[in-house]
């Protein structure tokens, strides 16, 4: 559908779920893709599957929330990382619980991965985009960052933060022809939602106007669109992929 030949993409949280599907689809459309996750084995397996299908993929083991690791990886091959055209900030975790019982550690871990990680990587990668006067930054937020959700103050705060970060950065770099957008998935079938009880899942489905949970393909299509050259007049936008759950 879109042609990403000669473009280099970096996708965080690419070993499974949404990030893995986004990586597969970018590679299938011609991009050279760098897949990032904390697990070396899982991310290498995801990259190998892309290579087996004829794509160009490189696996990188890194915890996006650890500044020293981000710096170490990106400084290991500065020429390569200066040439990233598409950055998909997708790595994310949940540590749910009601505020009154939430451990400080659960608050910190979620903010560190979901928000600090995006800040650390984007700050490094954007420099090359500014120099080359081209770039697409795609940040994965969530429907709950727009609507709120009980039991997730840490996650919701991080995802609302992603939206604010997106809009501020979009204004900072627009003059350099770089677009910065967010994708807000609704409840999507991945490991993140697999632990939901089937009663909760049924209740969720019935609250979605399109009466189903999202798939990783639904989200990946939106990412590819907003990352394409064709979407060059869209910036600071939050694209909802939620079956109508929040409008």
Region for 142 from its dihedrals, namely left if φ exceeds 0, alpha if ψ lies in -120 to 50, beta otherwise: beta
Nearer Cβ to ligand NAP, position 100 or 199?
199
d(C-alpha 95, C-alpha 82), whole Å: 34
d(C-alpha 45, C-alpha 164), whole Å: 34
154 touches ligand NAP (CB under 6 A): no
Least distance to ligand NAP from the beta carbon of 163, Å? 12
Which residue from 10, 27, 33, 38 is in contact with ligand NAP, where contact means CB under 6 A? 38
Which residue from 13, 161, 222, 243 is in contact with ligand NAP, where contact means CB under 6 A? 13
Nearer Cβ to ligand NAP, position 36 or 153?
36
Give yes or no: 120 in active site: no
Nearer Cβ to ligand NAP, position 165 or 187?
187
What's the number of CA atoms in the CB half-sphere (13 Å) around residue 232?
A: 9
Rg of the Cα atoms in the chain: 17
124 touches ligand NAP (CB under 6 A): no
192 touches ligand NAP (CB under 6 A): yes
Which residue from 7, 37, 179, 228 is in contact with ligand NAP, where contact means CB under 6 A? 37
Site string for ligand NAP, 74-113 (x = CB under 6 A): ----------------xxxx-------------------x
Stretch that binds ligand NAP, among 96-104, 121-129, 191-199, 231-239 (CB under 6 A): 191-199
| 175 DSSP assignment | G
Run of H or E including 163: helix 153-173
Cβ pair 232, 196 in contact under 8 A: no
Nearer Cβ to ligand NAP, position 104 or 175?
104
Cβ pair 5, 28 in contact under 8 A: no
Which residue from 7, 11, 12, 137 is in contact with ligand NAP, where contact means CB under 6 A? 12
Least distance to ligand NAP from the beta carbon of 188, Å? 4
Evaluated on CA atoms 65, 68, 73, 79, the torsion sign reads positive
42 touches ligand NAP (CB under 6 A): yes
- With 0-12 / 13-18 / 19 or more C-beta atoms within 10 angstroms meaning exposed / middle / buried, residue 83 is middle
- With 0-12 / 13-18 / 19 or more C-beta atoms within 10 angstroms meaning exposed / middle / buried, residue 206 is exposed
Determine how many CB atoms are found less than 10 A away from the CB of residue 77.
11
The contact set with ligand NAP (CB under 6 A) reads 12-19, 36-39, 42, 63-65, 90-93, 113, 117, 140, 142, 185, 187-188, 190-193
| Residues carrying an active site annotation | 155
């Amino acid at each position: 559908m879109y042609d990403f030949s000669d473009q280099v993409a970096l996708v965080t949280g690419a070993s499974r779920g949404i990030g893995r599907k986004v990586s597969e689809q970018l590679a299938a459309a011609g991009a050279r893709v760098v897949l990032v996750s904390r697990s070396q084995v899982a991310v290498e397996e995801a990259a190998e599957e892309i290579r087996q299908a004829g794509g160009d993929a490189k696996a990188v083991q890194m915890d996006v929330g650890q500044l020293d690791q981000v710096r170490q990886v990106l400084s290991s091959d500065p020429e390569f990382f200066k040439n990233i055209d598409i950055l998909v900030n997708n790595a994310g975790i949940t540590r749910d619980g009601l505020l009154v019982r939430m451990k400080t550690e659960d608050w910190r871990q979620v903010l560190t991965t979901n928000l600090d990680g995006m800040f650390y990587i984007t700050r490094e990668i954007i420099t090359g985009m500014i120099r080359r006067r081209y770039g697409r930054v795609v940040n994965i937020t969530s429907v709950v960052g727009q609507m709120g959700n009980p039991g997730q103050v840490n996650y919701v705060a991080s995802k609302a933060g992603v939206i604010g970060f997106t809009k501020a950065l979009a204004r900072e770099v627009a003059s350099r022809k770089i677009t910065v957008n967010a994708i807000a998935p609704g409840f999507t079938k991945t490991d993140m939602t697999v632990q939901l009880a089937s009663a909760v899942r049924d209740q969720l489905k019935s609250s979605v106007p399109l009466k189903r949970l999202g798939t990783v393909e639904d989200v990946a299509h939106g990412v590819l669109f907003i990352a394409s050259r064709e979407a060059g007049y869209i910036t600071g936008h939050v694209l909802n992929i939620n079956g109508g759950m929040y409008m």
